[in-house]
Amino acid sequence: MERYFEWVTRHRGWVIGAAVVLVSASAFAAADVSVDYSVEQFFPTWGPERGVFDEYRSVFAEEDAQVAFFLETPDGRLRPEDYDAMSAVAADFEGAGLEDVMWLGDLPGVAEASSDASALTDVVRQLAQDPLLSGLFWSPDRTVQVVQGVLPPELNNDRDRRALAEHLDRAISELGLRARWTLSGTPMIRAQVPELLEFDQTVLLGGGIVLFFVILFLFFGDAGRVLLALGSVVPAYLVTLALMAVSGHSVTILTSFIPIVILVVGVCDSTHLLAHWARHRRHGRSPRQASVATFTELATSCFFTSLTTAIGFASLMATGIDVIADFGLFTAMAVMITLAFTMTLLPVFLSLGRARRSTEVRRRLVERGLDAVVGVAVRAASGSPWRVIATFAVVTVVSVVAGSRVGIDTYLVDDLKDDTRIIQDLRWIEASGFGLFQTNVFIRADSSELRRPAMLSWMERIQRATEEEPIVVSTLGLPDLAGDRVLPRSAVNSLVRPESGAAQIVIVVRDAGSRETLPFLERLDALLASDPPPFGTADVTGTVRMAHMFSFHVLRSFGPSILLSLVLIWLVMTWLFGSVRLGLFALVPNVFPLAALTGVMALLGVSLKPSSILVFSIAFGIAVDDSIHLMARFRHLARGGMERGASVLRALQESGRALVMSTLVVSAGFTLLLASRFELLFLVGLLTAVTALTALAADLFLFPALLRVAGAKRSRAETPAGQGIEPSAVGSA
């Protein structure tokens, strides 16, 4: 190991040149990586439900492709200027390529009366006597009017959805409407959410990097070295993107969080490395000598911190859901690539030039603050270990009991704060009597059987039964077309396709969350089982069903994936420390932060949802890293013949400062995410900070107590000669 770092720091030009070539080639390849924020990638790819959904979408491709413009008419009276505005919006819809544009101007008599306010109101009042038109053209009290269109399949992709949303929003804004209006529908939401997410990620992650830099500078007093330490982890993301492009994978909403993970992993290891490097510099070594000594001593422990973190993410592949598995795989790869750059570029950067020495005043202030925290841990470690263990056990039990009450509740439009415009508009739309989401009863039968009286009677029974459900806004089926009702052809086509022998009952629902939606879907399945159609077959399908199935499968596999990662990390630690017993003891402080997380979630009323996987995965990676660094130092001292209790205290004194520094850096940086408009990023920021602090408490207090109880001398005696790892980060800033 020492020879490697001697070579790296001696051939700095070659190393930097090779890195530049690799990063440039990666940037070129990464330019071809596609972006895919489609909701379908989150659907399970197996099972009969997916087969039914794919068949349904091949017939009714316009499902969840409706774009809608909502205009408020507060007193329920439609004025000519309102009609003109809606006419302009309908024209914009058609000009933008939307199909089957439908609005009240298509109804008989409306266009002829559009120039006279009184006549227009009378015509609309007469048409409103047909309850079927409510929800299609206006709200039940006619205080909100709607223009609808269908996004054709060839335009229903991320790029075209965003372009359409931007075009329509600009065109409608130029109308100068004074009344409240909004542009919504599933395609518009799917266009707006990724843009908001990308903006928050860019701004807040950038702010986090700046804050990381400021705090590390306060600790180490050398802006150049801190900047280079942060910069050494940036190329890892470009290489990861290049691998995704070469392998034909797209950037998804989940994989877009890889930079956050890279930053956490890189900062944690860099803090330990910088702390150790600074100690060697204070002892009179040159920058190059300090770099070689630091990386020789810490390379193995840094490797295992990255390995255990990568294992935690790779275990997500056990979910069997492609988008989750890709996130786990590429994040694990990114973690190891980050390690490679840290072990290659950072020693080169630290060996360059002359280092600025910290001022004595700053160094004493930093050391005094860090030593105060470490001193408390050392005093606790000098006392009764069982008292510390009992305290943490009580906190763990309370957290687990509280966490057992954390409910599961996912939404179709999820992880957005209540004050965002998307959520406010969605609530306004639903409060007005509209619904943006559908559950579909997909019917397959001979075309001659679809309109038989028995079939129509059965459809009507299903509609009447579902309309009693609290989350149902309205239903639409072939029975609604009976009599002399006049509907645009697009509405008729959305219900029946005789050439395909297919029809559907459209059940418009609120985004009520999985606590209400899943039981509703179960009752609907039971209804069809107890009252099947007289001809053909019928199944419940649609995006609402598939989205909630995804959440169900992810959450069901969440426990096994966490358990798998715990087992794998225990095996790694057992091999690393040469002792099954120490491997188990090393795992305990890393489970405590996860238990604490569930307690905090219960305290804050946070529901368990698929995005929690991201938070728990990052949390577990943070928890494991510092434990390995502390354990590494303890094992080095114990193998040198130092008495067990003394080894524990010395390990705390020498590694405690770096542990506190890395925790403060991570916690402070990620608190910036509390300002995000996304609950997901808010939770990542809050719970990452909570995890870092609880992991620090476990490492400083619980871990030393466990080591004292573990009988380290016997474990050391069981370790074959030459096994173990080198010292961890030591010393102060």
331, amino acid identity:
T
Report the 3 state secondary structure along 160-211: HHHHHHHHHHHHHHCCCCCCCEEEECHHHHHHHHHHHHHHHHHHHHHHHHHH
Name which of 521, 407, 526, 543 is nearest 472 in CA terms.
521
Q: Which two tokens stand for residue 321?
A: 């859901």
Q: Which residue has the tokens 């929690």?
A: 612
CB atoms within 10 A of CB 41: 17
Higher pLDDT, 207 or 714: 207
pLDDT tier at 62 (50, 70, 90 boundaries)?
A: confident
For 99, the token pair is 């199909």
pLDDT over 50 at 720, yes or no: no
pTM: 0.76
Packing angle of the helix pair 186-220, 644-670 (nearest 10 deg): 130
* DSSP for 442-506, written as a single string: EEE--TTTTTSHHHHHHHHHHHHHHTTSTTEEEEE-GGGG-TT----HHHHHTTEEGGGTEEEEE
pLDDT for 70 beyond 60? yes
Q: What is the pLDDT of residues 129-165, one digit of tens each?
A: 877 787 788 888 889 999 999 898 888 888 888 899 9
More confident position, 594 or 243 = 243
The reported pLDDT for the residue numbered 523 is 94
C-alpha dist (Å) from residue 727 to 5, 343, 654: 16, 16, 10
Q: What is the pLDDT of residue 729?
A: 36
pLDDT-wise least confident of 188-202, 363-377, 414-428, 689-703: 363-377
Residue 525 and residue 504: Cα distance in Å, rounded?
15
Q: Which two tokens stand for residue 733?
A: 């800033």
Q: Say how many Å lie between the first and final Cα of the chain, rounded.
A: 25
Angstrom distances, CA of residue 179 to CA of 182, 420, 488, 554: 10, 20, 27, 42
